[in-house]
Structures are given as C-alpha cells and as structure tokens.
Amino acid sequence: MRDILLNAARETIATELQEAASLPDRLNDDFVQACMMVHGCVGKVIVSGIGKSGHIGRKIAATLASTGTPAFYVHPAEALHGDLGMISAGDVVILISYSGHAAEFVRIIPLLKALPVGIIAFTGNANSPLAQAADRWINIHVEKEACPLGLAPTSSAVNTLIMGDAMAIALMRARNFSEQDYARTHPAGSLGARLLCLVGDIMRTGEKIPRVNVDATITDALFELTRTGLGLVAVTGEDGALNGVFTDGDLRRWLLKGGVIAAPVKEAMSTPGFTLLASQHAAEALALFQQRKISSAPVLGEDGMIIGAINAHDIREAGI
C-alpha cells in the first residue's frame, strides 16, 4: 500500500509539473493585452467559474485583490439569478472554463456583451464558444490530467491557478505595488503589524510613563522603576524636556562603583540616553533594541518632548 500511495503521488506531481512547464511559452500578446485590460479597468474586475474552476476563480480573485487589483468572485449560477446586477459597463470579467462550454457562460456572455464589458477567457479550448466570444484568451490547455481517469481537473486546475497568479503578479509589478500597499490589505496579519504599526500607536502614555525630575534622587528613581516595571526612568527638567535616562543597568553600575542611592539621579543617569520617536515604525524600534541589547526607551514627539515610553514586550504584544 505504501508504494502504491507514493508512486501515485509522484506521478501526479510529475504530470502536473510537466504540464505547467509549457506555460511560459504561452505568455503571448493575448496575455499582455488581457493584463492591460485589467490594469486600465475603470470599473470592477469580476472573476467567475463553476465547479473546480469556481474554486480556482475565488483564489485568483483573492490574489488580485490583495496585490493591488480590486476584484471579487461571482458564481455564474447566482449571476443568472440576480447577481448579474453586480456587473456594469466598464467592468472586466474573467471567465474560467477548461472546456469553454459551460452552459451558464453560454447564457451570460450575450448579456455581458450588451453592457458592454471586457471579457477575458481562461480556457483550454481555443475553438470553444467561450474562447471565441472573449476579447482575450488565456491558454490553460493540458495534454494530460494527473487524474488516472482523465476526468478530475488536476493538471488543468494547476495551470489555471498558475496563469492567474502570473496575471496578478504582472499587474502588481506594473502598479509598483509595495510592501506598505500589501500591508494595508492585510492589516490584521503579522506583515501588516510590522509595516503599519508605529511606536506612537502602542507606547505607554500618561501615568504609565516612568519619569522623575532632574533634581530627584536615585531612591526616587528606584520607586519609579518599581512602580512601572519598564526598566528605565526618564529624567526630565522643569520644562518637561528629557535630560537623560536612568535604567536598571545604570543602577547596577552605580552601586558597583560604590555609589549610594541617596545621591542625585543625574549623577548616575545616561546622557542623553537612547530615545525613540513616536513616528518610527515599531518593527524598527524592536530591531534597534536588539542591536543595542536594550529592552526599553522613552518616546519623544517631533518637538523633542517626552510623550511616552515603550519596551520590547509592548512591541511583541502588538504582533511584531
């Protein structure tokens, strides 16, 4: 049984890879013009397919949408029962059917042409009604399905997905779609947190900021260290400007050289001390912490006044 399973799996992968290997040679002017249709679309991009083509179509629509080309999926049967109203003049419709004979598309295509909309066909049959009716044809033909019966869409489904990805990424490049753009469509993910989250979004503010006046003693700073547990205390002047930073490390170094805790904190603090700006990305702040082997810092506004404090734990808690 083990050998049967492994051999079948290897044959499947080999067949699908062999069929996919022919796809680069099919990237012709039709592909370029199809991409230009989508790139220049002033309306919406709608993807549709039924059966396995529908499942692949949903993924293509999702990939387009997340890489800078707003798109959504419409089920062809639902389109015939009202969802056709989602499609309007100026849209571009991507219709997926390996045979090119899907009955739903035969009924839908005349209605689409009457609007009119641009039609891109993903099909393996150049002589099919779908390919003939479309403005542009994306060739997903396969010589052999990986299914031993030649029935289940396997190689053809892979070819469709690859060509859909090829279109999405080509358009992504054409739009100069950046990491920041990608993060805006994935704000809940780790990438979104890394690229969008600023220090000012997650820093501690108000009473949670550990601080003492420049005339305070090390004892006063110790109480503030204990109260906030941040590992540092901001030492500020009467105007609120930062004079220095007193950390756990500063305390250890002070005591090791024989200093007393009744001494003024300004004698033991680090000057000017490491600080962050509220406008910096939190991921950058975390990288700086790791580089400097520290775990926390005061946060300054654009005017140089202290407005918050943050540590590495706060950043990691934000999903970065």
Detail the residues annotated as belonging to a binding site for Zn(2+): 75
Q: Of 129, 133, 124, which Cα lies nearest the Cα of 158?
A: 124
Letter string b/e over residues 11-33, b meaning 16 or more CB atoms within 10 A of that residue's CB: ebeebbeebbeebeebbeebbee
Total residue count of the chain as it appears in this document: 320
Using the 8-state DSSP alphabet, how is residue 151 labeled? Answer: -
Question: How many distinct helices (H) and strands (E) make up the chain?
Answer: 14, 11
Query: What is d(CA 288, CA 282) in angstroms, rounded to the nearest whole number?
Result: 10
Output the CA–CA distances (angstroms, integers) from residue 261 to 14, 223, 228, 254, in the order listed.
73, 11, 19, 9
What are the structure tokens assigned to 18, written together?
């062999």
Residues 6 or more apart from 91 whose CB is under 8 A from it? 41, 43, 44, 45, 46, 115, 117, 118
Residues 6 or more apart from 37 whose CB is under 8 A from it? 92, 118, 120, 135, 136
Residues comprising the binding site? 75
